[in-house]
């Protein structure tokens, strides 16, 4: 009976994940389509849906390093791979799709967290931080989940996914071949199943903070889009497979994201504020409108981007104001 129950639960989780990968994550103000990548290779421009309003790109850098827009699109990279290949910029321009960036600077992540340890010491330190975060979160979870069904739903599915998948050390090796498949849906689903183990791994503590912040910023951008157009945004987000818990955070909503962000120890948040130029910049996204109809065959392709791109910023002031009170 126990085996059958696990099988049924596994089937339900798989079915739910397939729907989200193919149909997107639906929220009040938007539909979000995940595009998971291996940072060593990126993705093909053909993987980007052609009917989206905004394309979000993970970019773990201080955005002040890439200004104006031409340097952002020509010089930014992840693991020595260009973040914005010309072929992707061409596709986005021709589809009239805006580009959004809203990650955090994560240079020297362990140093930011006041740790410069290696091996077992690093794992132990990360475990202590994770324990403090979880303890702080779970201490209020009963009261909060009664008030908000989204939080209850998040806890239920996060726990179920962790029990079904997270306890198995075989998952990465089993899923890896599927992550190399040419079919986008198969590849994204495999990445998603691999990443549910992040709920149990202490080394993902800071990684999950970035996922929370990126999810919060995407939800804030969806609100901004709805106010400007009176339409629900269609947004694709390209991130590494270790960030697929963004799916859960998008479903849980901004209040939950902010709440969990503040479960992190103040010294970690304070140091992140310092390397990200303060609370408002921490909570800020940049959105770029590219010149339309660009082609990589244009001799002045990069010049058109440099002179014709329009930038604006969207800030989650609720998050920024709360962060500014950390001393």
Closest CA to 61 of 205, 284, 241, 275: 275
Residues of the chain with pLDDT > 70, as a percent, come to 60
Segment 21-31 shows an average pLDDT of 87
Closest CA to 215 of 30, 16, 76: 30
Residue 193 has pLDDT above 50, yes or no: yes
Query: With bands split at pLDDT 50, 70 and 90, how would you rate the model's confidence at 324?
Result: very high
pLDDT attached to residue 220:
98
Closest CA to 51 of 241, 233, 244: 233
Tell me the range of 20-29, 118-127, 162-171, 211-220 where mean pLDDT is highest.
211-220
pLDDT mean across residues, the chain: 74
pLDDT attached to residue 55:
97
Dihedral over alpha carbons 312, 314, 101, 137 (to 10 degrees): 170
Residue 34 and residue 21 in contact, taking contact as beta carbons nearer than 8 Å: yes
Residue 204 and residue 242 in contact, taking contact as beta carbons nearer than 8 Å: yes
| β-bridge pairing 54-57 and 233-240 | parallel
Q: Which residues contact 251 (CB under 8 A, 6 or more apart)?
A: 25, 27, 150, 153, 154
**30-34, 114-118, 199-203: lowest mean pLDDT where?**
114-118
Residue 260 and residue 212 in contact, taking contact as beta carbons nearer than 8 Å: yes
Number of domains in the chain: 1
pLDDT digits (tens, 9 = 90+) for 274-315: 888 899 999 999 999 999 999 999 989 999 998 999 999 999
| β-bridge pairing 30-37 and 25-26 | antiparallel
Residue 197 has pLDDT above 70, yes or no: no
Residue-range definition of the domain harbouring residue 60:
2-323
pLDDT digits (tens, 9 = 90+) for 218-275: 999 999 999 999 999 999 999 987 787 888 889 989 999 998 899 888 888 888 888 8
pLDDT digits (tens, 9 = 90+) for 69-93: 778 888 888 777 889 999 999 999 9
pLDDT attached to residue 316:
97
Residue 172 and residue 166 in contact, taking contact as beta carbons nearer than 8 Å: no
């Amino acid at each position: 009976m126990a085996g059958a129950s696990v099988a049924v639960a596994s089937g339900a989780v798989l079915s739910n994940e397939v729907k989200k990968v193919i149909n997107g994550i639906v929220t009040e103000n938007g539909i979000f389509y995940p595009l998971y990548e291996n940072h060593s290779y990126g993705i093909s421009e053909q993987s980007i849906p052609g009917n989206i309003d905004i394309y979000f790109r993970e970019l773990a850098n201080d955005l002040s390093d890439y200004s104006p827009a031409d340097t952002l699109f020509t010089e930014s990279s992840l693991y020595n791979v260009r973040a914005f290949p010309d072929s992707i910029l061409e596709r986005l321009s021709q589809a009239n799709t805006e580009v959004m960036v809203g990650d955090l600077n994560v240079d020297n992540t362990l140093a930011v967290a006041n740790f410069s340890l290696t091996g077992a010491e690093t794992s132990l330190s990360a475990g202590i931080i994770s324990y403090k975060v979880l303890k702080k979160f779970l201490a209020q979870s009963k009261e909060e989940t009664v008030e908000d069904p989204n939080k209850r739903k998040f806890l239920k599915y996060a726990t179920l996914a962790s029990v079904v998948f997270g306890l198995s050390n075989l998952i990465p090796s089993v899923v890896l071949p599927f992550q190399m498949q040419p079919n986008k849906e198969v590849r994204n689903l495999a990445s998603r199943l691999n990443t549910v183990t992040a709920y149990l791994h202490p080394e993902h503590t800071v990684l999950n903070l970035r996922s929370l912040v990126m999810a919060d910023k995407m939800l804030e951008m969806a609100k901004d889009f709805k106010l400007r157009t009176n339409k629900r945004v269609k947004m694709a987000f390209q991130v590494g497979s270790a960030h697929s818990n963004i799916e859960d955070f998008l479903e849980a909503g901004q209040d939950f994201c902010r709440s969990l962000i503040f479960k992190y120890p103040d010294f970690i948040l304070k140091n992140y504020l310092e390397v990200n130029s303060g609370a408002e910049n921490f909570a800020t996204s940049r959105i770029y409108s590219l010149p339309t109809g660009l082609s990589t065959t244009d001799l002045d392709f990069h010049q058109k981007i440099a002179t014709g791109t329009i930038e604006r910023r969207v800030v989650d002031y609720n998050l920024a104001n709360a962060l500014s009170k950390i001393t």
